[in-house]
Each structure stands twice: as structure tokens, then as C-alpha cells.
């Protein structure tokens, strides 16, 4: 019933937008999400949690992630993604790197899992990066794989320009916990996650992971782009 209510609300918003298109459409905010996976009996599992009732996507299940912070653009990393991958994320190098930095930072904040290695983050006011610095560590970006970009549709009152990354549980350290921002945090079979209340972008990414699992998780050669245009899904590979 929860998913039916989410789908019905989405259709209501689309209809209202098409009938009364606003003069000013909210600009999507830069954000990043990390799809954490682990191999288990019966299939691959992914880490998901439920947003609070006051969150932008209230009460739905999501991957760890959030908005890109100014500190994500300034902090240093222990390792980097390949230059070719960064160019796919964004044409602006400093901005491209801020997305995986945000994914690692948000994952630590929301789940308690560290994706770091010995390195220097440099001077920062961000408490999460300062916690890394206290351990002499910085984000290990080479443990992430870039999946693609998704932009929240124009009919949503709050929009995000998100980059999605993937990593495996063995690339993390720490005990599952986090800040409590995500409730019911835990591992769930990827296919079973489709039965949880989720937004369309999350459903799309879950199905994409299922396709990769069926193919044996081959190297990612092309990233995907997902959004909505005129109330319909728009998908392309690049």
C-alpha cells in the first residue's frame, strides 16, 4: 500500500505540473548516493535505510547519500577515481571529485561505515572530515565505481542532480550504525528491495544492479543517465 500511495502521489504531481506549469522550475541541487553491495546466500544484498517523515523523500527507502557540501570540494582524498571516470561525472574537475567525496562522507555519517585509507584531508571545518583527519585517513575514492547520473523530475518541489556510485562491503570498515538519519538501516536482497516503498529513481537503480548481477558484474564501461521529460522516463547510456 505504501508503494501504491507513492506512485499515486507521483501521478498527481505530474498531472498538476502538466496542467499548471510554473514559471520558475527549482534548480536541482548536487548530490551523491552510494549503492553498497555484499554477496550473500541467495543473491546480492544492498544496504538501505528509511528516510524520516520530514525528509525530502519522506518515509521511503533510499541508499546512503545526500547533498554535496562545500567541504566535499575542498577536502583531500587518499586515492582518486580514474581521470576518464571523473570526466564522465562532470566536465569540471573540482566538481567531478566532489560527488564521490560526498558519497563517502554521507555513507560514514548515515551508516557508520568507513571507506577510507591513510591520507590527508587537509584543513576543514566539516566534522566528518575532521574525524577522518583524526585517524590520519581520507576518502579512498578508488574503491568506488561510477554508475551514472539521475535528475529529479521537474514536477518535484525539491530537485536533485545526483551521481550514483557502487562499492562492496569488503571495501568498508566499521560497525553499522550511523547518525540515525536513516531508520530500519540494514541489508536486503536487491530484488526484495523493489517491494519496499521507494521512489522511481531508486527502483531504476535497483533494477540496473539486478542486470549487472545477472551479467556477473562486468566492468562498467558506460554510465547511465536517468530523468523524466514531459512526464515520461528518459534514459540513455554514455
Using one digit for the tens of pLDDT, what is the confidence trace for 5-36? 555 555 565 555 555 665 667 788 999 999 99
Convert the pLDDT of each residue in 94-107 to its tens digit.
899 999 999 999 99
C-alpha 96/C-alpha 107 separation (Å) is 18
Q: Tens of pLDDT along 150-207?
A: 998 766 667 889 999 999 999 999 999 878 889 999 999 999 999 999 988 999 999 9
Distance between CA atoms of residues 125 and 75, nearest Å: 10
Neighbours of 63 (CB within 10 A): 29
Q: What's the mean pLDDT in 218-226?
A: 92
Contacts of 181 (CB under 8 A, 6+ apart): 49, 51, 52, 109, 110
Residue 103's CATH number: 3.90.79.10
What's the confidence (pLDDT) of residue 179? 80
Q: Cβ contacts of residue 136 below 8 Å, gap of 6+?
A: 118, 119, 120
pLDDT at residue number 1: 44
Number of domains in the chain: 1
Q: What is the pTM of this model?
A: 0.88
The cell for 118 is 591513510
Q: Which residues pair with 68 in a beta bridge?
A: none
Return the pLDDT at 228.
79
Which residues touch 93 (CB under 8 Å, ≥6 apart)? Answer: 86
Q: Read off the C-alpha cell for 224.
A: 547511465
Task: Note down the domain range covering 8.
Answer: 2-237
Average pLDDT, the chain: 88
pLDDT at residue 51, as a whole number: 84
End-to-end, the C-alpha distance of the chain in Å comes to 36
Amino acid at each position: 500500500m505504501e508503494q501504491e500511495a507513492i506512485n499515486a502521489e507521483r501521478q498527481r504531481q505530474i498531472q498538476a505540473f502538466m496542467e499548471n506549469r510554473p514559471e520558475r522550475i527549482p534548480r536541482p541541487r548536487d548530490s551523491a548516493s552510494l549503492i553498497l553491495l555484499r554477496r550473500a546466500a541467495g543473491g546480492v544484498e544492498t544496504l538501505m535505510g528509511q528516510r524520516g517523515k520530514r525528509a525530502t523523500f519522506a518515509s521511503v527507502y533510499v541508499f546512503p547519500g545526500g547533498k554535496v557540501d562545500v567541504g566535499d570540494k575542498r577536502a583531500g582524498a587518499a586515492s582518486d577515481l580514474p581521470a576518464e571516470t571523473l570526466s564522465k561525472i562532470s566536465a569540471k574537475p573540482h566538481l567531478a571529485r566532489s560527488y564521490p567525496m560526498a558519497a563517502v562522507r554521507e555513507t560514514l555519517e548515515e551508516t557508520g561505515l568507513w571507506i577510507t585509507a591513510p591520507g590527508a584531508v587537509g584543513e576543514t571545518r566539516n566534522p566528518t572530515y575532521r574525524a577522518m583527519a583524526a585517524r590520519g585517513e581520507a576518502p579512498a575514492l578508488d574503491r568506488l565505481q561510477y554508475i551514472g547520473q539521475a535528475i529529479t523530475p521537474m514536477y518535484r518541489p525539491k530537485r536533485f542532480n545526483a551521481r550514483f556510485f557502487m562499492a562492496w562491503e569488503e571495501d568498508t570498515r566499521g560497525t553499522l550504525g550511523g547518525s540515525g538519519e536513516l531508520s530500519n538501516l540494514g541489508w536486503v536482497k536487491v530484488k526484495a528491495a523493489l517491494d519496499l516503498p521507494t521512489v522511481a529513481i531508486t527502483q531504476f537503480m535497483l533494477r540496473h544492479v539486478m542486470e549487472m548481477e545477472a551479467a556477473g558484474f562486468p566492468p562498467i564501461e558506460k554510465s547511465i543517465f536517468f530523468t523524466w521529460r514531459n512526464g515520461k522516463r528518459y534514459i540513455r547510456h554514455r
